[in-house]
A and B are shown apart, each in its own frame.
Chain A
Amino acid sequence: MTTSTTKIRPDLAICEHCDSVHQRLPLERGEAADCHVCGATLYRRPMLDLDAMLALTVAALIVFVVANAAPLVTMESGGNTTRGWLLSLVATTWTSGVGAVSAILIGTVFLFPLAQILLYFYVLQACRLKQQASRFVDAMHWLRRLRPWSMVQVFLIGTLVSIIKMSHLASVKPEPGLWAFGVLTILLTALGTFELRELWALHEEAANT
């Protein structure tokens, strides 16, 4: 009661949404513990193990390359064919005077998702090999900060809406790049279910053995 040194309580979990204290209990694979006060998820045990998650990051990287290399859409109008890639969207918005939109595009749909995939690979690999990775802490902080700003799924729906909008003006066709963005959305969502907090604990275990 009178001690002033900081003690760590790995047996407890505190809800980040309502500050209620819970006893941490072991979970089965795929289970989540919800806060009984506010209903937020306290912690969960992921469905997939580290090897499967690592395979997902590699798949996500490959799909990311395809999604950016292949065109998203083609438009035929008056004998001209125009193709749109993500990076050509970045370029046209830049040259047509809305640099901020260009910056949002390259950040939220290109750089942040790519960084997320690479950082996930790095931290998962560190946990799997039970190594003390020197940049683990930095990588984890960046993963947490980037998460809300990675908007591949919003881009996908925005593109679909735009295609349907234009379809009565000209013949617009979805291309492989768009499907790749669909797959990338699914892979990134699956990666997102892996709680960063579990990775902290896993890495700590690895460092202590």
Chain B
Amino acid sequence: MSEPTGRIVRGIEHGLVGCEACGLVLERPAHGSDCPRCGTPVHARRPESLARSWAFLVAAMILYVPANLLPVLHSTKLFESWSDTILSGVVALWEDGAYDLAIIVFTASIVVPLLKMGALALLLLEVQRGGRQLPRERALLYRILEYIGHWSMLDVFAVALLVTLVHFGALASVEPGSGIVAFGAVVVLTMLATMSFDPRLNWDTPRRRVTSLPAAPAVKPDTAKDPLSP
């Protein structure tokens, strides 16, 4: 790849649109037309992407409060009974000396959802104010968000198994609490918020910044591609 690649050719500037569903590249598609290969409506940018993403994100943020305050488990053992929230479950694991588990659950259930919501809010705000900083880093952040989204469901599944096995015990019983429903909803809503965001918006900024990127610093030696010659 000796060819200089400082010049970035963007589809929107050349009337080229990639179908979101099947990837087919269309030249100057008529407004409101469908992809000839898969029938999906063709958009240069997803319509109402920011509004949808914000709606799901705000709903997730609101539900994050009950997800952490409401108990996820009600336990009874002989004459004793208590309730656990996600955080108190982590603390209990830590006090029992199960540090590795405490860290896994803390990361998947508390850190990941918080980081996800924070990072997505950051991306949305940056796009809205027309920010042109670090598009490459923001693109990477979005791909990470997409990748880790469903891992927060881990605790929901763990609670389901716990409840099933201890449910019928003679001495002890465990019932799920409504916190786990709120938590599952937070995970689903953050996933929907991430999917609604159109990552191409990260790059829709005045061109001077984008075109001044250094020449292809991240090209892997084994990848085969060239930009369209202008």
Contact = CB atoms under 8 A, between A and B. Distances in A.
Interface in B20-60: 20-30, 33, 36-40
A187 to B, nearest CB: 18
Nearest to A22: B225
Interface stretch (A13-21, A49-57, A58-66, A119-127): A13-21
A129 interface: no
A22 B153 contact: no
Given A101-B156, A137-B39, A148-B191, A14 B17 contact: yes
B11 A151 contact: no
Contacts of B23: 13-14, 16, 43, 197, 200
Contacts, number: 271
B156 A158 contact: yes
Contact of B165 (A18, A38, A75): A75
B16 interface: yes
B225 A18 contact: no
Interface in B150-204: 150-151, 153-172, 175-176, 178, 180-181, 184-185, 188, 191, 195, 199-200, 202-204
Contacts of B185: 100
Contacts of B176: 93, 96-98, 101
A31 to B, nearest CB: 6
A100 B27 CA distance: 45
Contact of A25 (B93, B171, B226): B226
B226 to A, nearest CB: 5
Contact of B223 (A3, A8, A32): A32
B155 A158 contact: yes
Nearest to A164: B101
A158 B213 CA distance: 42
Interface of A: 3-10, 12-27, 31-40, 42-43, 72-73, 75, 77-78, 80, 82, 84, 88-89, 92-93, 96-98, 100-101, 104-105, 108-109, 137, 140-141, 144, 148-149, 151, 154-155, 157-159, 161-166, 168-169, 172, 196-197, 200, 204
6 contacts: A21-B25, A36-B225, A37-B213, A148-B150, A148-B191, A162-B159
Interface of B: 5, 8-12, 14, 16-18, 20-30, 33, 36-40, 93, 96, 98, 101, 104-105, 135-136, 139-140, 142-143, 146, 149-151, 153-172, 175-176, 178, 180-181, 184-185, 188, 191, 195, 199-200, 202-204, 213, 216, 218-220, 222-229
